[in-house]
Amino acid sequence: MKKLKKLIIFNSILLFIALVFVVYAVISFNSFINAPNSSVKKKIYIIITPNEPVLSVSEKLEKNGLIKRYDWFYYYVRLSGKSKDIKSGVHVFYTNNSPKQTLKELIGENKNDVIFTIPPGFDIESIAHRLNRLGFDGNEFYKLANSKSYSYKLLGYNASNMEGFLGAGDYFIEKKENPSVLLKLMFELFKKDFSNFADFNHINKSLYDKVIVASMVEKEAKVNSERPLIASVIYNRLQKHMLLQIDSSVIYGIKNFNGKLTLKDLENPKNKYNTYIYKGLPPTPICSPSYQSLKAAFEPAKTKYFYFVSKNDGRHVFSTTLKQQNYWVDIYQKGKN
């Protein structure tokens, strides 16, 4: 009789503990669904691919700081019966949303989003033109990107503008997004690439110069295998205090360039980007470099090349002496002008 009584008490305690656990789990799960994910509001863009599994979506949301637990969100979506209603495409989330609000965005139509690409080699002016065509305020973007004070605020370095520091890549943006948000997103993408080679929080003249080199490599190189070689030519010439004589730098300094570089252009001292007259690097980067060009600027090939000339297919022939260079120029550049 005593054993039966003890067993009943023991089972009752177990039942009570189980009940408390279930109640706690239900309350916790309900709190998870309805409570804000964070006290900080930050906009996050995420692309959901067609037929992407709910588990993958949940993991992606947690990775981007939009939910605290991907497993709970996965079960929430399944239990809600909304897993088949998730729309592919670009979604705009906020870090202070609740999981319920996040799911609401996932099953929304995403009618206010734009996907666009900024290719490597675009400069601030080119980016602004593209933004204008897409319906954004490209003029305000251009003004901000060329603001010395705004550039210092983002870079922490006394640069005259944001040229070279706007990441090339794909962007998922709400239509009519504020230009300052666009600029920051592009800057964040650049920092992501840059951080593979150096600590961006401690940028200095040396690192700024690396971006200038990367931008020239971007403009001169057509294939990735040549980027480290072109970077080596630039560094070799700098070391010997030679004029860089980079055409793309000269072109950058010409307003409304018509596509044909003339002798008059190469002799123009008013163009501060004229590397046929001024020794050293140009004042600023000349475009947004790709990851490969940044890598080449930080990890140039070890060569004795001082010259290169473009072949008919866009690739280059590299030379160590002026005599070799003139030989290849005669072969590949005759009849081009």
- What is the per-residue pLDDT for 198? 87
Is residue 47 one of the residues assigned to a domain? Answer: no
Is the same domain home to 230 and 313? yes
Is residue 254 one of the residues assigned to a domain? Answer: yes
Percent of the chain with pLDDT over 90: 50
- What is the per-residue pLDDT for 31? 72
The answer to whether the beta carbons of residues 212 and 163 sit under 8 Å apart is: no
Task: Give the structural domain span for 156.
Answer: 113-194
**Full-model pTM:** 0.72
Is the same domain home to 228 and 317? yes
Is the same domain home to 236 and 271? yes
CA 39 to CA 261: how far, in whole Å?
55
Percent of the chain with pLDDT over 70: 89
Tokens of 131: 């933004």
Q: What is the rounded average pLDDT of the residues 266-279? A: 95
Task: Return the closest-CA partner of residue 286 out of 275, 299, 301, 302.
Answer: 275
Is the same domain home to 182 and 249? no
Most confidently predicted of 58-62, 153-157, 241-245, 314-318: 241-245
pLDDT tens per residue across span 163-179: 999 999 888 777 778 89
Q: What is the rounded average pLDDT of the residues 271-287? A: 96
Is residue 250 one of the residues assigned to a domain? Answer: yes
- What is the per-residue pLDDT for 109? 67
172 φ/ψ angles, rounded to the nearest 5 degrees: -120, 105
Confidence grade of residue 337 (pLDDT, cut at 50, 70, 90): very low
Most confidently predicted of 67-76, 230-239, 303-312: 230-239
- Does the pLDDT at position 70 exceed 70? yes
- What is the per-residue pLDDT for 117? 87
Is residue 199 one of the residues assigned to a domain? Answer: no
Ramachandran class of 314: left when φ > 0, alpha when ψ lies in -120 to 50, beta otherwise: left
Confidence grade of residue 203 (pLDDT, cut at 50, 70, 90): confident
Q: What is the rounded average pLDDT of the residues 232-255? A: 96
The number of domains in the chain is: 2
Last residue of one domain, picked from the residues 194, 224, 250:
194
Is residue 104 one of the residues assigned to a domain? Answer: no
- What is the per-residue pLDDT for 90? 73
Is residue 35 one of the residues assigned to a domain? Answer: no
- Does the pLDDT at position 336 exceed 60? no
Is the same domain home to 189 and 231? no
- Does the pLDDT at position 240 exceed 60? yes
Is the same domain home to 231 and 296? yes
CA 278 to CA 286: how far, in whole Å?
16
CATH (domain of 174): 3.30.1490
Is the same domain home to 326 and 279? yes
- What is the per-residue pLDDT for 329? 87
The answer to whether the beta carbons of residues 234 and 280 sit under 8 Å apart is: no
Sign of torsion over alpha carbons 198, 202, 203, 207: negative
Task: Return the closest-CA partner of residue 215 out of 171, 180, 252, 261.
Answer: 252
Which one-letter DSSP state was computed for residue 114? E
Is residue 14 one of the residues assigned to a domain? Answer: no
- What is the per-residue pLDDT for 76? 87
Confidence grade of residue 56 (pLDDT, cut at 50, 70, 90): very high
Is the same domain home to 162 and 249? no
Is the same domain home to 262 and 303? yes
- Does the pLDDT at position 333 exceed 80? no
Give Cβ neighbours of residue 226 (< 8 Å, ≥ 6 apart). Answer: 315, 316
pLDDT tens per residue across span 71-112: 888 888 888 888 888 887 778 888 898 988 888 888 876 655
Is the same domain home to 183 and 231? no
Is the same domain home to 172 and 236? no
The answer to whether the beta carbons of residues 217 and 230 sit under 8 Å apart is: yes
The better pLDDT of the pair 252, 88 is held by: 252
The answer to whether the beta carbons of residues 182 and 131 sit under 8 Å apart is: yes
Is residue 62 one of the residues assigned to a domain? Answer: no
Tokens of 246: 């980079």
Last residue of one domain, picked from the residues 163, 194, 225:
194
Q: How many CB atoms lie within 10 A of CB 190?
A: 24
The answer to whether the beta carbons of residues 288 and 126 sit under 8 Å apart is: no
Is the same domain home to 260 and 315? yes
